[in-house]
Amino acid sequence: MNGSVPVRALDARKVYAGTGEESVHALDGVSLEVRAGEMVALVGPSGCGKSTLLNLVGCVDLPSGGTIEVDGRATSSLDDDALTALRRERIGTVFQFFNLLPAMTIAENVALPLVLQRRPRAEIDSRVTAALEAVGIGNKARSYPSQVSGGQMQRAAIARATVHDPAIVLADEPTGNLDSQSGATVLALLRTFASNGQAILMATHSTEAASVCDRIIRMQDGRIA
Ligand SMILES: Nc1ncnc2c1ncn2[C@@H]1O[C@H](COP(=O)(O)OP(=O)(O)OP(=O)(O)O)[C@@H](O)[C@H]1O
Ligand SMILES: [Mg+2]
């Protein structure tokens, strides 16, 4: 259903109840689309709502108003099980601090989305091997995150975000902790996934990262600027 527009926000709003009397309007009516095969940058000052929007598209949180559609399905209309399934099957996420589990090997980290989907062991093994090869760290499968470089950790995180062939890859400052060479590698990998038909939505403060995207969406105070 509506596979060509995996991400759609329609007047999406998010209000966080404040600790004091003041509530925060983190998203104040955002509408946008990301088509399959498109790599889109979300830019704007700290606090403008980029991560909030990624959390809504990633089905981690629901909008307070308006609609977020993932694969043509309005997230607010789904029950918890359907929302979890949508998140596990259709979304991959890459974070600034990689978020690999330290007690698991690189291969075990990358396998997680498939383990959560209860795929057969043989399928998991072959897909993990292919995903690690695709990001150029096939030789690090048995290493632990602490035993590889930051750039390699982020490549592992990209393998984990894409091993289950999601329709949408969300990236929140994926190059924020990397030197420029590793950052360029990460951006090139994300580009490759876009060329394969995935929709990539990346929040970034880096003009270099934004410049490799097909489109730049600027945000300011919870709105599209
Ligand atoms: N869980 C939360 N509870 C309350 N307020 C929040 C919460 N998460 C974010 N906010 C507030 O919502 C606004 C938007 O935050 P958000 O994290 O989306 O910004 P951002 O654009 O990702 O910023 P940065 O570039 O610094 O990562 C900010 O004012 C922030 O303080
Ligand atoms: Mg953020």
More confident residue, 126 or 2: 126
Rounded distance between C-alpha atoms, residue 151 and residue 181, angstroms: 9
In this predicted structure, the answer to whether residue 103 has a pLDDT above a threshold of 60 is yes
Confidence of residue 1 (pLDDT cuts 50, 70, 90): very low
Mean pLDDT of 70-76: 96
**Which atom belonging to ligand 1 lies closest to the Cα atom of 53?**
18
Sign of torsion over alpha carbons 57, 61, 66, 71: positive
The mean pLDDT value of the chain amounts to: 95
Confidence of residue 139 (pLDDT cuts 50, 70, 90): very high
pLDDT score of 215: 97
Mutate to test the pocket of ligand 1, among 21, 23, 28, 51 (most ligand atoms within 8 A of CB): 51
Mean pLDDT of 132-142: 96
- By CB neighbour count within 10 A (0-12 exposed, 13-18 middle, 19+ buried), where does 120 fall? exposed
pLDDT score of 72: 94
Ligand nearest to the CA of 219: 1
pLDDT score of 195: 95
Pocket of ligand 1 (CB under 6 A): 16, 24, 26, 46-52, 203
Mean pLDDT of 166-172: 97
Mean pLDDT of 150-169: 96
Residue 103 Cα, ligand 1 centroid: separation in angstroms? 30
Can you list the alpha helix ranges (DSSP code H) found in 117-179? 121-134, 150-162
Residue nearest to atom 27 of ligand 1 (CA): 46
In this predicted structure, the answer to whether residue 3 has a pLDDT above a threshold of 70 is no
**Which atom belonging to ligand 1 lies closest to the Cα atom of 54?**
18
Beta bridge partners of 224: 219
Residue 171 Cα, ligand 1 centroid: separation in angstroms? 16
Domain 39-62+88-224 has CATH 3.40.50.300: yes
Yes or no: say if 71 and 4 are a contact pair by the CB < 8 Å rule. Answer: no
> Which residues fall within 8 angstroms of residue 128, CB to CB, at 6 or more apart?
107, 110, 111, 114, 141, 159, 163
Residue 9 Cα, ligand 1 centroid: separation in angstroms? 18
pLDDT score of 2: 42
Rounded distance between C-alpha atoms, residue 21 and residue 163, angstroms: 44
Residue with the two structure tokens 């709003």: 13
Residue 121 Cα, ligand 1 centroid: separation in angstroms? 39
pTM of the model: 0.95
Share of the chain above pLDDT 70, in %: 99
Share of the chain above pLDDT 90, in %: 95
123-132 core/surface letters (b: 16 or more CB in 10 A; e: else): ebeebbeebb
Yes or no: say if 53 and 30 are a contact pair by the CB < 8 Å rule. Answer: yes
Mean pLDDT of 60-67: 97
Residue 19's CB is within 10 A of a number of other CB atoms, namely 8
pLDDT score of 191: 96
pLDDT score of 4: 87
